[in-house]
């Protein structure tokens, strides 16, 4: 027997007066597809996208299932060789049925009836489940961020590979969103120095709210193993993890085709960088980036020669400084609106069962720019992959179940639940928050006054 958590009564009556039977139906996958979009790998960039009313609120209705044979399911006898379906009931149903767990004589059994249902005795048709609501509010301040009509929309889904994995970069002048993939298996000769792995950079050009085109940015001369980046001057700066042949670096990329790239920085006074992970721009024209030891780096990178550090680099003067070594594995970075606070994710290491990523806050001291007053800002329930900050000082973290939002004091004020979680975040225009999720890109539309601290658009 296998417990499936707290079931929801099919007739809405509290349990305790008499023993009742219940049915859990596997929630149907939404049949709604993301609206069509053009994918170009040859140079054409213009396409069309028409919204078809796709809603992020998935169809969790529970259709009636056929009654199992016999006079009732009282055991798993006769089902040898059948594997039980691997799924869990909706979390909202678990929260809404605390009384069901208090009934000790209820026994739950998992049956494989064409992978559709879990039965307990003879059952009536279940009542429809409540619609999934992606926005969880813990504080009234989150309502101000969301506005009157927040939405969560699936923009693109590509199941071939995790093309939309790393932090997105929205370039306002060209109205283009850039995002890098996770390392993808590739048998081409250019992938040999990285153990047959490549990272592709995708761009989505928006011509209107319903018209966009997706394209692939080619860097034929280099396999940079790109990660995240930020807008800088007229182009963008990308963090490159490097390979056995290509150095780890900060790379500048032009916005005009063919998107030429130029390495800005590859070493710390002669010592090669490890694998830059995240970079952010400061109002004084400098670039700040994290350089940890990534778990997969030893497979296609030489042994690190520097400790995990956070650096400040000024491209105008070539001044390079190590800012702090107080974070064991710094990954995602984000500045507050006034650039006086730097938020840093310390990724877990060691015992994975006990490790939890922490978000630390540092005070940026002027005029000589030092990082001081390290303090624990937040301890999310899952390791954040990316950070973003809005003009009100709220911090957004891309986590395994979606987006977690913290106020300036580090209190969790709300969450945006995203199917498959979020691996990258960036703000767009007028309250748009782009959330990368590996094979998907989501658009979270909030109040138009909710703007990102980096772009303020």
pLDDT at 221: 60
Q: What is the pTM of this model?
A: 0.72
Per the CB < 8 A criterion, the answer to whether 337 and 393 are in contact is yes
Q: Which residue in this structure is represented by tokens 């279940």?
A: 126
pLDDT at 218: 79
Interacting residues of 103 by C-beta distance below 8 A, sequence separation 6+:
15, 16, 19
pLDDT at 350: 60
pLDDT at 347: 87
One pLDDT digit (tens) per residue for the chain, 457 residues:
434 444 333 333 333 333 333 333 333 444 444 444 444 433 333 444 444 333 344 344 444 444 444 444 433 333 344 444 444 444 443 344 333 333 333 333 333 334 333 333 344 445 555 556 899 999 999 999 999 999 999 999 999 999 999 989 999 999 999 999 998 888 777 777 777 788 899 999 999 878 999 999 976 566 678 889 999 999 999 999 888 888 899 999 999 888 889 999 999 999 999 999 999 999 999 999 999 986 554 577 888 899 999 999 999 999 999 999 999 999 999 999 999 999 999 987 665 555 678 999 999 998 889 999 999 999 998 889 999 999 999 999 999 999 999 999 999 999 999 999 999 999 999 999 999 999 999 999 999 999 999 999 9
Identify the burial level of 33 via C-beta atoms within 10 angstroms of its C-beta, where 0-12 means exposed, 13-18 middle and 19 or more buried: exposed
Distances (CA, A) of 398 to 164, 374, 406, 437, 452: 13, 22, 12, 9, 15
Burial 393-432 (b: 16+ CB within 10 A, else e): ebbbbbbbbbbbbbbeeeebbbbbbbbebbbbbbbbeebb
Among 321, 322, 327, 367, smallest CA distance to 343 is for: 327
- Please tell me the number of Cα atoms within 13 Å of 324 on its side-chain side: 25
pLDDT at 198: 85
Interatomic CA distance for residues 275 and 247, integer angstroms: 9
Complete edge-to-edge strand list for the sheet that includes strand 386-389: 135-137, 412-417, 402-406, 395-399, 386-389
The two three-digit tokens of residue 265, written as one number:
């920085």
Interatomic CA distance for residues 365 and 40, integer angstroms: 46
Interatomic CA distance for residues 23 and 254, integer angstroms: 57
Distances (CA, A) of 139 to 15, 229, 338, 445: 32, 31, 24, 19
Interacting residues of 274 by C-beta distance below 8 A, sequence separation 6+:
248, 291, 292, 293, 294, 297, 301, 304, 305, 306, 308
């Amino acid at each position: 027997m296998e417990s499936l958590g707290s079931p929801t009564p099919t007739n809405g009556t509290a349990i305790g007066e008499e023993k009742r039977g219940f049915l859990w139906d596997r929630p149907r996958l939404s049949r709604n597809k993301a609206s069509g979009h053009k994918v170009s790998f040859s140079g054409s960039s213009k396409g069309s996208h028409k919204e078809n009313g796709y809603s992020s609120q998935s169809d969790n209705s529970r259709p009636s299932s056929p009654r199992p044979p016999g006079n009732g399911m009282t055991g798993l006898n006769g089902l040898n060789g059948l594997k039980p379906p691997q799924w869990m009931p909706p979390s909202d149903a678990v929260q809404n049925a605390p009384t069901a767990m208090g009934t000790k004589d209820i026994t739950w059994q998992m049956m494989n009836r064409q992978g559709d249902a879990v039965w307990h005795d003879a059952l009536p048709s279940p009542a429809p489940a409540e619609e999934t609501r992606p926005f969880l509010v813990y504080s009234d301040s989150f309502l101000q961020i969301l506005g009157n009509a927040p939405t969560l929309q699936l923009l693109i889904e590509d199941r071939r590979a995790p093309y939309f994995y790393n932090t997105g970069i929205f370039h306002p002048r060209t109205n283009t969103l850039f995002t890098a993939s996770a390392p993808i298996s590739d048998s081409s000769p250019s992938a040999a120095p990285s153990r047959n792995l490549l990272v592709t950079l995708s761009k989505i050009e928006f011509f209107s709210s319903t018209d966009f085109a997706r394209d692939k940015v080619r860097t034929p001369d280099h396999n940079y193993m790109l990660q995240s980046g930020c807008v800088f001057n007229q182009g963008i700066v990308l963090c490159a993890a490097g390979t056995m042949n290509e150095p780890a670096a900060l790379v500048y990329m032009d916005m005009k085709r063919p998107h030429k790239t130029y390495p800005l920085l590859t070493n710390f006074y002669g010592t090669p960088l490890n694998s830059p992970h995240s970079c952010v721009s400061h109002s004084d024209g400098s670039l700040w980036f994290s350089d940890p030891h990534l778990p997969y780096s030893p497979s296609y990178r030489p042994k690190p020669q520097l400790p995990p550090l956070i650096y400040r680099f000024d491209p105008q003067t070539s001044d390079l400084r190590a800012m702090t070594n107080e974070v064991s594995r710094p990954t995602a970075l984000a500045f507050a609106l006034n650039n006086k606070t730097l938020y840093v994710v310390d990724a877990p290491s060691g015992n994975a069962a006990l490790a939890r990523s922490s978000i630390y806050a540092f005070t940026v001291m002027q005029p000589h720019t030092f990082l001081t007053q390290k303090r624990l800002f937040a301890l999310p329930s899952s390791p954040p992959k990316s950070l973003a900050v809005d003009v009100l000082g709220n911090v957004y973290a891309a986590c395994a179940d979606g987006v977690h939002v913290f106020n300036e004091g580090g209190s969790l004020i709300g969450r945006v639940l995203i199917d498959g979680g979020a691996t990258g975040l960036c703000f767009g225009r007028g309250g748009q928050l782009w959330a990368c999720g590996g094979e998907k890109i989501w658009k979270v539309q909030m109040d138009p006054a909710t703007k990102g601290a980096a772009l303020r658009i």
